[in-house]
């Protein structure tokens, strides 16, 4: 690439913008000096053309439908690794060897219990609260318990916080579910794998041993891997922005959870399943697609479209495979919702309205169907997404905090409000 771009402004000013290339993907032009030298800002609401940071963690090629965690293709990681190996990779930059894996798994396993008083927070919520509201509150409250790991400038504190978050999110999420159905909390079990332990805490009861189904546990583990990280998406950007002010990691992750809740982001899997259930039958797909094309209807094809992927989301392909595996294992091959999803996908992939807008299924389209088959209620889907994404958030946060050049994020604006004016006395106001 040409390393220098020259910007010529209408008033004749010119400024040279140095170019930068990464390992893969689009180059960037560094505009940090633009305002200082010209008095003008760049304008990019929604960050359609803005790289907010450098990162070594995740690479996405939206046109080619490629997703790499630390250089490894998601397809290979989903096939050859379990979620905790992926956590180690995202946090440390390399896959663990056997000894490192044993040590990492041991440490995570022994951080899965939460402070006994944390469980009292749940009593303050209505039983019918949305689990994301509960999760948001309880994760934020972790900062009130773990005072010994709040110094973000201490690498040891950062490491302990990462372990606590990765290890305790499953416990906190499962407790949110148990509370909502009035069942007793299940304590974690150290003899179970990460995914099996989560399913035990979600579906086990004190009255009997929980029977682990390896096929379903593998599917759960794969769902975690597919959701672990995804570059500078909205919630990760929130975590980075929160972290840039020096906020503690628990507060930053709570901020990420809040952002993920939105139906345009992590809430899409819940919205996608609700959409499928609302359509109800393959015979109604045509009418629904018609509504989606009518901008005035406000209907969207939830689980379709992506800011970056203008091709099939590689995670959606893997999720569809898992969907067939799980439904096959459960004898639900003829599941009505799956049939409806596949019919909707087929129509959308052939319909020019969607093809011309490069709207393909994203990770959320099939993940809801798999989770529903696993017995996870729709309201819990985004909590599971938050659980899985916590490692991505804390890895991105750690990368940023460890950078000595880190500065607080403080975007500017194009002001379009009233010019300066004096305050009239109240009797003179219309």
Quick one: tokens of 404?
């000595």
C-beta of 225: minimal distance to ligand SDX in Å?
12
C-beta of 372: minimal distance to ligand SDX in Å?
17
> Torsions phi, psi of 73, nearest 5?
-65, 140
Q: Three-state SS string across the chain, please?
A: CCCEEEEECCCCCEEEEEEECCCCCCCEECCCCHHHHHCCCCCCCCCCCCCCCCCCCEEEECCCCEEEECCEEHHHHHHHCCHHHHHHHHHHCCCCCHHHHHHHHHHHHCCCCCCHHHHHHHHHCCCCCCHHHHHHHHHHHHHHCCHHHCCCCCHHHHHHHHHHHHHHHHHHHHHHHHHHHCCCCCCCCCCCCHHHHHHHHHHCECCECCCCCHHHHHHHHHHHHHCCCCCCCHHHHHHHHHHHCCCCHHHHHHHHHHHHCCCCCCCHHHHHHHHHHHHCCHHHHHHHHHHHHCHHHCCCCCCECCCCCCCCCHHHHHHHHHHHHHHHHCCCCCCHHHHHHHHHHHHHHHCHHHHHCCCCECHHHHHHHHHHHCCCCHHHHHHHHHHHHHHHHHHHHHHHHCCCCCCCCCCCCCCCCCCCCCCCCHHHCC
The residue whose Cβ lies closest to ligand SDX is 305
C-beta of 71: minimal distance to ligand SDX in Å?
18
For residues 155 and 401, give the distance between their C-alpha atoms in angstroms, rounded to a whole number: 10
> Nearer Cβ to ligand SDX, position 204 or 314?
314
> Nearer Cβ to ligand SDX, position 104 or 366?
366
> Nearer Cβ to ligand SDX, position 67 or 152?
67
> Nearer Cβ to ligand SDX, position 118 or 302?
302
> Nearer Cβ to ligand SDX, position 16 or 75?
75
Active site positions, annotated: 306, 364
> Nearer Cβ to ligand SDX, position 241 or 268?
268
- Whether 313 contacts 306, CB under 8 Å: yes
C-beta of 272: minimal distance to ligand SDX in Å?
6
C-beta of 402: minimal distance to ligand SDX in Å?
22
For residues 308 and 232, give the distance between their C-alpha atoms in angstroms, rounded to a whole number: 10
Total Cβ atoms within 10 A of residue 112: 22
C-beta of 355: minimal distance to ligand SDX in Å?
11
Residues that bind ligand SDX (CB under 6 A): 230, 233, 264-266, 268, 292, 300-308, 357, 359, 362-364
C-beta of 101: minimal distance to ligand SDX in Å?
25
C-beta of 363: minimal distance to ligand SDX in Å?
6
> Nearer Cβ to ligand SDX, position 112 or 367?
367
- Beta-bridge partner residues of 28: 20
> Nearer Cβ to ligand SDX, position 105 or 313?
313
For residues 270 and 183, give the distance between their C-alpha atoms in angstroms, rounded to a whole number: 23
State whether the Cα torsion 249-252-256-257 is positive or negative: positive
- Whether 301 contacts 354, CB under 8 Å: yes
């Amino acid at each position: 690439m040409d390393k220098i771009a020259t910007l010529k402004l209408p008033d004749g000013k010119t400024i040279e913008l140095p170019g930068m290339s990464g390992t893969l993907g689009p180059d960037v032009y560094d505009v940090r000096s633009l305002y200082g030298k010209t008095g003008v800002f760049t304008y990019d609401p929604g960050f359609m053309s803005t790289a907010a940071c450098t990162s070594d963690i995740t690479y996405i090629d939206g046109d080619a439908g490629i997703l790499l965690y630390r250089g490894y293709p998601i397809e290979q990681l989903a096939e050859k690794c379990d979620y905790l190996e992926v956590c180690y990779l995202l946090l440390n930059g390399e896959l663990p060897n056997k000894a490192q894996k044993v040590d990492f798994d041991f440490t995570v396993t022994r951080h899965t219990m939460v402070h006994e008083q944390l469980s009292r927070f749940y009593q303050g919520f209505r039983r019918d609260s949305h689990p994301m509201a509960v999760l948001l509150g309880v994760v934020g409250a972790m900062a009130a318990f773990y005072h010994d790991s709040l110094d973000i400038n201490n690498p040891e504190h950062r490491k302990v916080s990462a372990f606590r978050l990765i290890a305790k999110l499953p416990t906190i999420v499962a407790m949110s579910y148990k509370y909502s159905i009035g069942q007793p909390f299940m304590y974690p079990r150290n003899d179970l794998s990460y995914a099996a332990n989560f399913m035990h805490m979600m579906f086990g009861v004190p009255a009997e041993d929980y029977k682990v189904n390896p096929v379903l546990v593998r599917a759960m583990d794969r769902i975690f891997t597919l959701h672990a990280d995804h570059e500078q998406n909205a919630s990760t950007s929130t975590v980075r922005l929160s972290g840039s002010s020096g906020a503690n990691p628990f507060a930053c992750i709570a901020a990420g959870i809040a952002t993920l809740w939105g139906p345009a982001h992590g809430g899409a899997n819940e919205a996608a399943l609700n959409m499928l259930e609302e359509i109800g039958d393959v015979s109604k797909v045509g009418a629904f697609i018609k509504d989606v094309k009518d901008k005035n209807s406000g209907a969207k094809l939830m689980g379709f479209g992506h800011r970056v992927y203008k091709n099939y989301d590689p995670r959606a392909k893997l999720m569809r495979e898992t969907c067939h595996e799980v439904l096959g294992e459960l004898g639900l091959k003829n599941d009505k919702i799956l049939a409806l999803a596949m019919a909707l996908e087929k129509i959308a992939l052939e319909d020019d309205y969607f093809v011309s807008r490069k709207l393909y299924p994203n990770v959320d389209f099939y993940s809801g169907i798999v989770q529903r088959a696993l017995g996870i209620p729709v309201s819990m889907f985004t909590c599971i997404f938050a659980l899985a994404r916590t490692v991505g958030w804390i890895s991105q946060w750690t990368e940023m905090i460890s950078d000595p050049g880190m500065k607080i994020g403080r975007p500017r604006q194009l002001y379009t409000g009233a010019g300066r004016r004096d305050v009239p006395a109240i009797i003179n106001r219309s």
